[in-house]
Amino acid sequence: MKLFWSPISPPCRTVRLVLNALKINVELQDVDIMGISRLPLELIRHNPQHTVPTLIDKGFTIWDSHAIAIYLVQKYSSDQALYPPEPEKRAIVNQRLHFDTGILYPTLYNFVVPILLRRQKCINVSNAFGVKQAYNFVNAFLEQSQWLAGDQITLADFSCITTLSTMDYLLPIDEKIHSNLYKYLKLWQDFPQYDELNLQGVNKLGKIVQEKLIQTQFQR
């Protein structure tokens, strides 16, 4: 099994967390998503969108972190707890997965990409507001339970944590305003290999964003 990935990409870190939770070994191929070196031909050939994460498993190719995560649990896990089969429980997990695709990740993307690729010189107020609004939503999801879709960890958590922790690096979550969310991020710190599989990539992307902001401040 081969994964095209990048440590700075939140959806790639989600897939690494899921692979690790399911104890699946994978060959990793690092892709330069900042566009300095060329994309691997194998990725271009298999995924017309050229995005990471992309997984190739014995000739079967699948991309999009949410689709990959569901595939891995359904194909390789005897325990379906990460993606519970009961319709109501699964519906909640699905809602959170779509929330990540449709709201959380695009909010982070809109915040970061203009700084990384379009020479935006400072943090845009409306993009920062979007991040705070996303924090409000997730804080409300966590009113009833410690994990995002109930009392047990599910794929909903694996998907949203990588986006949320990246946002937290850039706009730190205020314990007084978003206390549930603040506790939720702390909860993850005990997760096996969380630092290696997620936080190292969060720090890497965070530092690149900070350096870009400093560089562009001094450019005309």
Ligand X SMILES: N[C@@H](CCC(=O)N[C@@H](CS)C(=O)NCC(=O)O)C(=O)O
- What 3-state DSSP class applies to 79? coil
How many contiguous H segments (helices) and E segments (strands) does the chain have?
10, 4
What b-and-e string marks burial along 45-84, b requiring 16 or more CB atoms within 10 Å of the CB? ebbeeebbbbbbbeeeebbbbbebbbbbbeeebeeeebbb
Interface with ligand X: number of residues (CB under 6 A): 11
Separation between Cα atoms, residue 148 and residue 210, nearest integer Å: 29
The contact mask relative to ligand X for 35-54 (x = CB under 6 A, - = no) is ---------------xxxx-
Residue of 6, 9, 65, 159 marked active site = 9
Q: From the list 19, 47, 64, 209, which residue makes contact with ligand X (rule: CB under 6 A)?
A: 64
Q: From the list 65, 139, 154, 166, which residue makes contact with ligand X (rule: CB under 6 A)?
A: 65
Which stretch in 17-25, 58-66, 115-123, 176-184 sits in contact with ligand X by CB under 6 A? 58-66
- 2-5 and 27-30 beta bridge pairing: parallel
Give least dist CB 9 to ligand X, A.
Answer: 3
Residue whose C-alpha is closest to residue 164's, from 21, 53, 7, 13: 13
Name the one residue in this structure whose structure tokens are 């890497």: 204
Give least dist CB 33 to ligand X, A.
Answer: 5
Element (H, E) at 174: none
Give least dist CB 195 to ligand X, A.
Answer: 20
Cα 22 to its chain centre, rounded Å, is 18
State yes or no: residue 154 binds ligand X (CB under 6 A): no
State yes or no: residue 66 binds ligand X (CB under 6 A): yes
Nearer to ligand X, 106 or 147 (CB): 106
Residues 19-38 that bind ligand X (CB under 6 A): 33
Based on the residue annotation, tell me whether 179 is a catalytic residue of this protein: no
Nearer to ligand X, 15 or 21 (CB): 15
Residues 101-130 that bind ligand X (CB under 6 A): 101
CB distance 89 to 96 below 8 Å:
no
Q: What residues make contact with ligand X under the rule CB under 6 A?
A: 9, 11, 33, 50-53, 64-66, 101
Active-site positions read 9
